[in-house]
Amino acid sequence: MNSIGKILVVFVTASSLGFLAFVVALRNGGPDWVGEMRSPELQKEFVFTTEQGEKVMYSAKHRRTETDVAPKTPVLAEVILKSRKRQEEDANKKLQELSPQVQPLQERLALIKKLIPEDEAGVQARIKKYEEQYEKLVSQLKEVGNQFSAKTLETQDVMRLAQDRREEAYRLANQLELLRNDKFAAQQQQKVLEDELTRLAENRQRLERRQKQLKKQLGDNYSN
């Protein structure tokens, strides 16, 4: 936290020295005000406006709050100096806001540093515990991996057996299909034979009826 205070002091000092340098340069021959207006540090915080006319007018607004920093004026140096002054005032205000926070933060940092040894011991104990748990998990993982390998081999055996069973099923299915075809052919042949027997039976009956008719017509001459 001491570093924050030091950084703020250095920042405010640098801003003050920069403002002083501009004033000295103005008295000794004048700086490049246009180049200064375009400097990144001013462009980051301010918006500069240039209005053309009989007299070129310059003005500046704060970029974040959009408040006027320098009203319209034909003197660019005045706008730049007011912008620098506003920059310095903002830095001083920020320093005043942060300065009261430094002491509580320093006290808190001291308390944290005081607790570091105890926290370190707790952290080391937790690390050791986690390492033990890690080793236990690694051992369990290896055991599960071995079981998985064994199950994989068993699964491969089962898959090979299932493949053999499928092939046997396909073979039996083909045989069954052949038997069904043979049965169908036999049934068709049986139907043909039955039809032939029916036809022969009908012929026999027809011959018997004819025989009876002839026998009846010829009488005793039938035998001759």
In a domain, 48, yes or no: yes
pLDDT at residue number 28: 46
**First and final C-alpha spacing in the chain:** 152
In a domain, 91, yes or no: yes
27 lies in some domain: yes
- What's at 173, amino acid-wise? A
CA dist 114 and 126 (Å) reads 20
Q: Is residue 200 part of a domain?
A: no
pLDDT in the model for residue 20: 54
Asked whether residue 140 is domain-assigned, the answer is: no
C-alpha to C-alpha distance for 191 and 177, rounded to whole angstroms: 21
User: Chain-centre distance of CA 106, in angstroms?
Assistant: 42
Cα separation, 24 vs 32, whole angstroms? 13
Residue at 204 is within a domain: no
Judge whether 108 lies within some domain.
Answer: yes
CA-to-CA distance for 14 and 41, rounded, in angstroms? 12
Q: How many domains does the chain have?
A: 1
Model pLDDT, residue 30: 59
- Residues of the domain holding 61: 2-115
Q: In the beta sheet, which residues pair with residue 61?
A: 47, 68
Per-residue pLDDT of the chain (224 residues; tens, 9 = 90+): 455 555 555 555 656 655 555 555 554 445 788 888 888 988 988 989 888 888 889 999 988 888 888 888 898 899 999 889 988 888 888 888 887 877 777 777 777 777 777 677 777 888 888 888 888 888 888 888 888 888 888 888 888 888 988 998 898 888 889 888 888 888 898 888 888 888 888 888 888 888 788 777 776 665 55
Instruction: Tell whether 214 is covered by a domain.
Output: no
d(CA 27, CA 211): 161
